[in-house]
A and B are shown apart, each in its own frame.
Chain A
Amino acid sequence: MAVIAVEKRKKPSVWTGEIVKRALIDSLVKLDPRTLYKNPIILIVELGALLTTVLYVRDLANGKSFELGRFELQIALWLWFTVLFANFAEAIAEGRGKAQADTLRKTRTETLARRVKSDGTIEEIPGGQLRKGDICVVESGQLMPGDGDVIQGVAYVNEAAITGESAPVLKEPGTDIRSSVTGGTTVVSDHLRIRITANPGETFLDRMIALVEGAARQKTPNEIALNILLAGMTFIFLIVTVTLQPFANYSGQLISIVILVALLVCLIPTTIGGLLSAIGIAGMDRLVQRNVLAMSGRAVEAAGDIDTLLLDKTGTITFGNRLAAEFIPVNGAGMPRLVAAAVRASLLDETPEGKSVLDLARVQGFTSIVDSTNLGDAQFTPFAAETRMSGVHINGLGTFKGAVDAVLAASGGNAPDGLTEQSERISGEGGTPLAVMEGRDVLGLIYLKDTIKPGIRERFAEMRRMGIRTVMITGDNPLTAATIAREAGVDDYLAQAKPEDKMRLIREEQALGRLVAMTGDGTNDAPALAQADVGVAMNTGTQAAKEAGNMVDLDSDPTKLIEIVGIGKQLLMTRGALTTFSIANDVAKYFAILPAAFAVTYPQLDALNVMKLASPESAILSAIIFNALIIIALVPLALRGIAYRPIGAGPLLARNALIYGLGGIIVPFVGIKFIDIIVNGIRLA
C-alpha cells in the first residue's frame, strides 16, 4: 500500500534538468505539421524554413559552391531555430504541469479499494473498478480509493497529495462540509466507511491530472480573438511580401526567394505567435502553483474581467469568531477588578471568545494578572444554551461572563448605572456585549467584536483601484453588517442574506453586464457558484459545490479570489504587451531588410539603413537572428507574466504602452545592430 509523502508540495522551478530535457525533446516532436497547424504563424515559418532548405540543396546540387551558399544555409538554419524556439516555449510551459500530472497519476494507479459487498463481506479490488454508489472501508494508513462521502466513522485524513497541506483534517459523517473525501488522500487515524460519488475517470484526481497537464486546454475567447488579429496581420504581410516581387520586377531586378522568405518571417508576428500558447498555459500553471485548479482557461480569463466580487463575511472578511475588543467597567468597579474577573472566567474557556479575552488582557497591559491568576480547585461551567453564561466557581465565589440579560437575571439585581447604555451602544455598533459578574456584582462589559482580518482593508482598497466592486454577504442584521462593511472597506453589503438572495444578486449584477466572482463551500452555495462567472469552490466544500464552481481552491482560502483576479489580469496583460511588442518590432526590421533587398536596384535606399548594418547579407541575417532569439529571450517573461500593479487602467496602460510599444520599436534597432557587429566580427556574412 503506497503511502504518500507527507510534505508541503514544493513549487518546482521549470528550469530543472528534467523539465528542460523533456521540453527540448518535445520541441522536436512538435515540428510535425499535423501538430503545428494549430499555430498557423509558426507553421508558415516552418514552410519558409523548408522552402529555403530545398532551395539551398538545389543550389548545391547545381554546383553552387559552399562559400556562395553559406548565406542561404544560415537563413535556413535560423528559420528552423525560430520554429524550434517557439515549440520550446510551449513545451517548457507545459513541462511543470506534466511533471505534476505524472506524480498524481502514480497515486491513481496504485490504489486498492476494499469494497463492502452486499452480504457485508469485504473484497479487495483495484480502485479503477469502483462505481458510483459503492461502499468502501478505508483503514488508517490507506489511500482513499475514490471520491466519496463519509457514511460512518470519524478519522483524520491527510490531504497533502491534493492540497500540499500536511496538517490532517477531520472527517465525519453528516456534516455538509467535513463529510466529503477525495480520492488519493490518506487516512492517518481510525477508519472510515465511505460511499463512492464519482465513477473512474470523473474523479477529482482525474480532473486534476487533466488540468495540470493541459490536456483539457481549449483556446479562450480572448485568445481566439487575438489569433484572428494575428492571422489577419500575417495574411496582410503575405500580401505585402508577395506583391513586393512584381514591384521589384518593375524596378529592374527580382529579389531572391530566400530574402523574401526572410522578410516575411521577420514581419509576421512570430514573437507573439510563438509565445501565445505558452502564456496561456503558464497562466493556468500559476494558478496551480497557488493551489487553485481552474476547470477552464475561460474561467481564468473571466477572472481578469471581474467587476463584482461577492465575499462571505465569515471566514473571508472576518475571522468568523467574535473576539474581545474592549473592557468597559461600570458602576465604579474599576478596570483592574473587571479584567481580573474576566480573566478568571475565561482561563478554562477553550472557545475563541474565551481565548480572545486573555489576549485582550495581555494587549492592554494586564499580562501580570493573566499569569498570576491561580485557579486552585476551580470548577468550570461551560457555556450552555439555557444559562447563556460560562465561568468558574473558586472556593464558592462564582465568576461568570455571559449574555447581558442572563447575567443580570443571575445577579438578581438591577442593572448598574451605565450598563444598559453601554450595552446598547455595543449592539448598535454591531458588536456583542458580554456582562461580567463576580459573586452578585456586575462589574462591567466585554465588547466582543467580529474582528476583521488584518490587511483585508488594504486589499479591498486595491480592488477598488483595479475597478472591482466588493460586496459582503452576511446573515447578520443590517446594523451589524453596516458596521463591518464600513470597517472592512467593502463597497456594498447584503445583510440577512439567504442563499437565494446571493443568486438574485448575481443575476442582477450580470443583467447589468457585470462579471461576478464568488467563493463557496456548502451545497446551498452550488447554484450561485454555477451562476457566477468565476465560482471558486473550497476544497473542504461539498462535492456539489466543487462540481458547480469553475475553480477549486485546494487551500480553501476564500481571500485567494483576490489573487485569482490578479492572475487573470496578468494573463491578459502579458498577451497584450507581447502582441504590441511583436508588432512594434516590425518597424526596425523594415529598416534592416528593405535597403538590403534593393541594394542593387536602388543603392540610394541605403539612406534607410539607419542602423548602418555592414552588408546586405549581414543585415538580413541579423534581422532573422534577432527575430529568432527574441522568442527565447521572452520565454521567462511569458511564463512569469508581466507585473500587474493595481494603479488603475490609465496609468497601467501608459506604463505598458511605453515599455512594450515604444520599447518594442527601439529594442530591435539596438538588438539587430548588436547582432550585426557580432555576425561581422566572426565573419558569418
Chain B
Amino acid sequence: MTLAHGAHGTSSGALVLVTASAVVGAGYAVLAWRRRREPRGWGAWRTISFLAGIALLVLAVLPFMSPWPVGDLRGHMLQHLIIGMLAPIGLVLGAPLTLILRTVPRRWGRRIGRLLHTRPVRVLVHPVTALMLTVGGMVALYCTPLHQVATDGSVVHHLTHAHLLTAGYLFAWTIAGPDPAPRRPSVPTRLVVLGVAILAHAVVSQLLYAGLVGGPIPAPERRGAAELMYYGGDIAEIMLALAILTTWRPRRGPTARVRAAAASDGRNVGSVVRQ
C-alpha cells in the first residue's frame, strides 16, 4: 500500500524527497543568513527565489496537492512542469553555487572552480548537453512507453523525477543562471538553444494533444495534460527568458555599480571561472 505508486507520495520515495528538500532549503537559509550579516551581504531575492523553488518541489510531490484523481495524466503533467521547469528556475536564481563558494575556504573555492573546468563537467554543463538531456527526457517520457512503466513502478517513477529535476536545473543554470559556469556561451547562442527547447516542447505537447503519442489515455485527460504542457511550458520558458535579462553580465564593467555586482558575484571564483 505504501509502495503503490498511484498513491503518489505516500511512498517512501516521496518522503525522502520532501526530507531532502527541507534539509537543502534549511541549509541554504542558514548559509544565506550568515552571509547576510557580512559586509558584502546576500540578496534577499536570491533566498526567496531558492526557497520558493524548494517549496514548489515539496508541493509537487505531496499526494494531496493534485486537483485530479490519483494516476491522472494531468496530475502527472503538473508535477513534471513543476519539478522539471518551474522549481529549477527558482533554485538556479538562488545562486546556490555562489553561496557555497562564498562560504567555503578560498582553496576549496579554487578546487571547485578547477572541477568545473574539467572536461567531463565542461561537456555536461554546456547548454547543448542540457538541451539534449531535458528534451530527450521529455521525448522519452511521452513518445515511448516509458510513461506507462514510470507510472507503474515506483523506482522508475522516482528516477524519472530525479532526471527531470537534474536536467531542468542544468538547463536553467546554463541558460540563465547567476552561478558561474565553465565556458558559458554567449547570450545569443543561449537564446537559440532556448528557442530549440521551446520548439521541441510545443511540438511534443501538440503531438500529445492530437493523440499521436502518449498511449491509450482518454481524450479529455490527454488534451487537458497537453494544454497544461503547452501553456505551462510557455510560462516557465518566458520566466527563463526574462531570467537571462536579470543575470547577464557585461563583458566589461566600467561603472561602479557593475563592478560591485561583478565583485559580489564570484570573488572566490573570479580567477578560475570566467563567464
Whether A associates with B in a native complex is no
By a beta-carbon cutoff of 8 Å, the part of chain B in contact with chain A is none
By a beta-carbon cutoff of 8 Å, the part of chain A in contact with chain B is none
